[in-house]
Amino acid sequence: MTATEATGLAEPGLEAHFDEVIAAEQRIEPRDWMPDAYRATLIRQIAQHAHSEIIGMQPEGNWLTRAPSLRRKAILLAKAQDEAGHGLYLYAAAETLGIDRAELTEKLISGRQKYSSIFNYPTLTFADVGVIGWLVDGAAICNQVPLCRCSYGPYARAMVRICKEESFHQRQGYELLITLMRGTDAQRRMVQDAVDRWWWPSLMMFGPSDGDSPNTARSMAWRIKRHTNDELRQRFVDMTVPQAEHLGVTLPDPALSWNEARGSWDFGEPDWSELKQVIKGQGPCNEQRVERRRAAHEDGAWVREAALAYARKRRSEGGADHD
């Protein structure tokens, strides 16, 4: 499918130029003409991505007051703060497409926009913090590095910084797990239990299999997505299996085996019905995650009002906005 076929619109000069920019691997910028469906797809994806970063603070945030040492607490705090920052860059990127952040937040808390399925699972032990860093941030990196080459400039640029920080997140997770694996039998069991619970949901982060992914073909034609969901899932498995061996944990998939001919790992089929349920809002923690976000938003109303009142006052007094 070419970009023009994907748009289904007829605005000859503008659309031809848009197609040329995409074909030449150049960037579309906020003031450029773009097909409505391209804009809508970007808003959908960037908003979901931003919401995921913001909701994604909750499962780990759950352990901030119970981290086992000051060092682990400082690392976890820094990671959660990074995620808040990622959410903000991404909301800012979405705003360049003409949507307001307040509207996006409203859509999230009213269930009209999605966030990643992965953040609807509970964090039962401190090993989950390590496994989230290793597997969830690992999956996020696989998925997001290609987005640094996305055709929409503000999203691609936001992804460059985000990916650098995600790499730190992944390393801290792996280092935490290595420390636990060098500990007691109970600690090793705790890590294995966390891996058993997070492995399949991590594979589901990449989205439905290619045959069931309605958006991939068009997003690839527009060079928003650079690889299909299954390609990225395979890349993640190939990257992760040797890391699991080094760590000394077993991945909970009896079908996992090296395929000599393909030069990559064969693996089992995720439970797609589970992914559908979680996306529909029926995962283990969906309700509590959205409720927590809604409460935080409502509790923060006075901050937004105060900031607005201050900005208005400054403006009416003719003060500079930036000092």
Per CB under 6 A, residues contacting ligand FAQ are 44-45, 48-49, 52-53, 56, 83, 114, 116-117, 132, 136-137, 140, 143-144, 204-208, 213-216, 219, 225, 229, 279
Distance CA(115)–CA(54), nearest Å, equals: 9
Our CB check for ligand FAQ shows the closer of 42 and 188 to be 42
* CB of residue 258 to ligand FAQ, shortest distance in Å: 26
Distance CA(56)–CA(52), nearest Å, equals: 5
200 CB contacts (<8 Å, ≥6 apart)? 252, 253, 270, 271, 274
Our CB check for ligand FAQ shows the closer of 188 and 275 to be 275
* CB of residue 78 to ligand FAQ, shortest distance in Å: 13
Distance CA(312)–CA(175), nearest Å, equals: 48
Our CB check for ligand FAQ shows the closer of 112 and 322 to be 112
Our CB check for ligand FAQ shows the closer of 21 and 136 to be 136
Q: How far does CA 304 lie from the centroid of its chain?
A: 26
The neighbour count for residue 19, using CB atoms within 10 Å, is 19
* CB of residue 105 to ligand FAQ, shortest distance in Å: 16
Our CB check for ligand FAQ shows the closer of 83 and 128 to be 83
Which residue is nearest to ligand FAQ, using beta carbons?
A: 56
Specify burial of residue 24 (Cβ count, 10 A radius: 0-12, 13-18, 19+): exposed
- In degrees, rounded to 5, the angle at the alpha carbon of residue 114 between the alpha carbons of residues 172 and 267 is 60
* CB of residue 44 to ligand FAQ, shortest distance in Å: 5
